[in-house]
Each structure stands twice: as C-alpha cells, then as structure tokens.
Chains A and B, each alone.
Chain A
C-alpha cells in the first residue's frame, strides 16, 4: 500500500464570500473507516474537496501524509477519490476506464492493476460493457475501482451510497469495511443516518460547517435514540391514555390536540414498549402512532445541542 494514510486538519475553515461552508474543524484520520455525516449543505463535500486538493482552506492547515494537498497532484499517488457526480466517460468500457486511470498513475502493469481493482469491486462480469450502459450502483463501483487501482492508503468517497438499492448498499459497505481492515484510511460522506448503521468505525457529524459530534458510532447512535422523541398517538380513548402515559417516567409531556395526543418521550425504547402495555391494561385500542420529528434536521440539531 502507498502512503501512511494520515489526514490531519487543524482549525480548517473555508468560506465563499460571506458564506461559511466549513467552520474551524480539527480532526485527525488514520487507518479504519470513518463516516462523515451531516445534512445536505453541511459542508461535507467542501471538506472532502479540500482533503483531495480541489479547494484551498481559507484558514487553517490541512495535510495528507504530511503534505498539503492544495496545488499538489502528487497526493493522488497515495490517495483515491470517488467524486459524488456520476460523470464518467460513458464511451469507455469499465475496463478501459480503470486501465486508463492505472496508466495515468504510471503503474508498471496497468492491465493487472485494472483486473485486480475490478475484482475487488466485483465488476469483472460487466467490465467489457460501455459505462454508459451501467446502472447507478455499477457506475459507483467502477469509480471505486478506478480510485483503488493504484492501491492508495487513503480512499475518499463522496456520498457513495447515493442512488443505490439496499443490496448494493450492503455490498459497498462490506467492501469499505474490508478495505479498512487492510489498514486503509476510508472516509465516506453521507446525509442519511440509516446508511451508516452497520459501520464499525467512527463517525464525524458535521452540521452547519461545524463538527457537531465525533466518535464511536454506537455512542452517537445511543445519543440519537435516547434523545426526546415526539409522537402523535391516536386511540379510542385519548384522554385516558394521556393520563396513564403521564404517570410513566419515560414520558415527559402529553398534550391533547384535535388530531390526537402529542406525546413527548424522553426515552424512545421504553416509551414504545410501555405504550402497548398501557393500552392493553386500559382496554384502549391504538389507532395510530406517528413519530412527528424524525426529520434529519431535528436529529442533527439535537446532536449539536448536546
């Protein structure tokens, strides 16, 4: 493998005119898998572009393998980038595309390198077809193969799961895990929490250009599930159910609205278990339970506040 795989950011900011896209972020990434998580417009792409040398930081210091990446295409000898945009040379076959990339890296045996990279992403069957005929998931995988062809220590992927179906997503996730297990630094961005559920590594949550939370995924996951949830509950006897719910420690508030009960729960898991029990005891039939604040923004906003 080429390079040490170390990415370091010290107080990195980036602004466009008056708009601050990335605000004073420091992090250090090494071998293993890291998810860069945040809503759209949070600054994830800006951050990845700066790491890959496609944007200079406005302030702060950013190094890849100890070298700044801006105006230094040599970083690509140890770094592979999978851009978010789906634009690839559609007239090339998958194999030609990956082999061309191997040649651009001046590898001694481009054919062998291309075969190896294509095997890693499991695209050997489709490698002779033109890329224009590929599905979204296949394009994504051939882009990964091209980014991997020179065996880099660092792989940056911008929204790699976008447009993939669940099966392709699992496959890509396994692939990233494997590469991380080989000692590579894998950094991928995503704006969908569920996408990173199975990840074993660490998470960096970015909201509004700031690092909102970082660390082990399970810890962040706990933060996310134990945050207060608001549900809309409709039943055959809203008032009775409301009174009973208020007696429970997992419930912090109940409001009677024309559309049903608005219940504020401190603990998501306990609340959902107790709700069913209460209904059974009181012989109340439950008509509807709707989470009313599951938007990503509310989840991320909670993480920022905590």
Chain B
C-alpha cells in the first residue's frame, strides 16, 4: 500500500494531531507506545482475529441485493453486512481491539462515550467478557431517545452516566469521558468509539475497523471479480466509513462516497443538519484538527439528525484529508430520504438497516440509478435497525 498516513505525530497533512491538555499527555503517549508495540504483534493480532471470528461472528457477508438492484434498474448493489456482527453494528470490531490493548496495558477500568448507544453496548459487551469495570457516558438527550440501549448496557453490567452539560448529546459525553479519564488516569482505559480524538485514536480505530474493507475487497473479487466501481458509507465520526474505504484508497478506479446527515436540510442552516464536511469549516475539537460544525466565534454548534449516531459536530481527521485531496467525495442525505431508504430496504430485501446506515443506502440508491447495470456499488450496512424501531414508530404516530 502506498498510502501511509498519518505521520508519526498523527497528522493527516494539516488534520489530526494531538490537541489535548497536558494533564492527558502522558496517558495518550503511553497509549501511542502500547499501540505501536502491539499493532504488528503476532499474538495480539491472532487473538484479535480469533475473537472477531468466534465471538463477533466474522466474516460478515457481502450480499448482492438483487431485488433492490433490479428494482432500481441501474448498478448492482452489494451490502457489506456489518449489521450481522454480535451487538448489531460495526462498533464491536473496534471495542474488541481496544479492550485487548487495555488488558495488555494492565488497565482494569474501561470508560466510553456513546451517542446512539451502539458503541456503549459494544464496549459494555467486551468489558463484561473480559471482566473489566465499565462506565459509559451518554448525553441526557440520548439517554431519553435510546432507552433500550441504556437498559442493554445496564444488563451487561455497565454503569451509564447521563451527561447534563452543554447540549447533552454525544459531544458532551465525549467531554465528560475525557474528564473521567484525566481524573482516573492510572487504572482507566478510554475506548473512543470513532475515528476522532487525539492520535493514536483516529489511526487505531481505523486499523481495527479496516477489517470491513479488507473482507469486502476479497469477497468482491471472489464473487464478481476485480474491484467494485464505488463504495458508499455513512459518516458521523466516520469509523464504519474509513473501515470500508481504507483498503481501497490506493485503488484509484474505485469511487468513494461518504454520506453525511443533512437532517432537515443543509440549506436550513447549521442547527438543522450534521454535515461538517459538506457545510462546516476547519477547527480543533476533541483532540484533533478537522472539519467542524462551528459558528464564527469558534463555538461548536449542535446539529441535528434523526439518527443519534450521526449527529456529531466533528468528523475523523482522515475524512477531512480525503475530502481536501478529492480522493473521497462527501455528500449528504436528509432525514426524510434516510427514512424512505429504511422502508425500501426493509420491504424489498427483508433487512432493517440502522437509521445511520439508511443514509448510505439512500445515497447508494441515487447513485445506482445513474449507473449502468454492469457497474457495482458496495454499501456499508454498518448496523441493524432494531434500535430505531421506536424512532420510526414515533414518526408514524404509533405508540406501543
């Protein structure tokens, strides 16, 4: 592979880096050194792969969605079925990797932030299995709209701490987790759920998630032959997207599309969407330089998306780099378009996508219609929609 970012300071050109308080620097440096030590360690990787296979259930299928492709009459759509992972989303690929690292570093306590609750559940799950204490920070607003996942985490033995500061959503959960980490730095490992945070997180989370694209590439070659024409994945923080994209970055014939949440519509202004790459500007938040939703004074703006997993005001720095270089194209899909795609996939293929993943499906549908039948698109179906049934029911006015 000729693509080799980030550099040893965690920079993707001007993006990424380590922007944290001195109070965290030693912990982050320790983590950098530990990851550097274990990332090419045979035993570590063997255990990681073993767990992905026997505990998570990988390899996940690459499924040719023939009904959907035939209905659209354009390019062939293939779904990378991350929804079939244990705990129902791609998030667990990363929590397995980080928890194994935590164990090797001798940490006995795990903390995490969560938005939709998927990362929280994936963290609580691995913590339960490894017998580690687990505390999950979650914004009060998200606690209310994702009560099912809150209960799941509690069943798994995690303590869920509602965060009442700031806008009481994912970004504030991240702030609170950072505060916990700095206070309990000796015994605590912070499992960040996306490709954000200070170096090494964007690189490390990408590496753990890159199994998605690695498998998809091999599967596509076996099932169809050669390379796909396009990749599509939703982007909140961007971990499932970079997981799919990473192994294709050098394959210039493959078009790459990241799909952000346009919420009520980008034209309605920054509080109506969560699309920093499409409509934000560059700044520094949560340890790295990237595109953000921010006002003219540098205050972070809380956006909106129907999917709790996409309404994060920042995005992984590697996506910022891929955008600027033009290697990936970032587009957006509104709440309504995502919900329509949710229903379409559910009815025609019998697969309930997570609302986050439904954004990718919606854009994949648009793209497929524009391409001939002999072209192939891989859409990352990053999670399953069971967690969103309440949201969908609410939109349709149904009460249980």
A in complex with B: no
Spell out B's residues near A (CB within 8 Å): none
A residues neighboring B (CB under 8 Å) = none
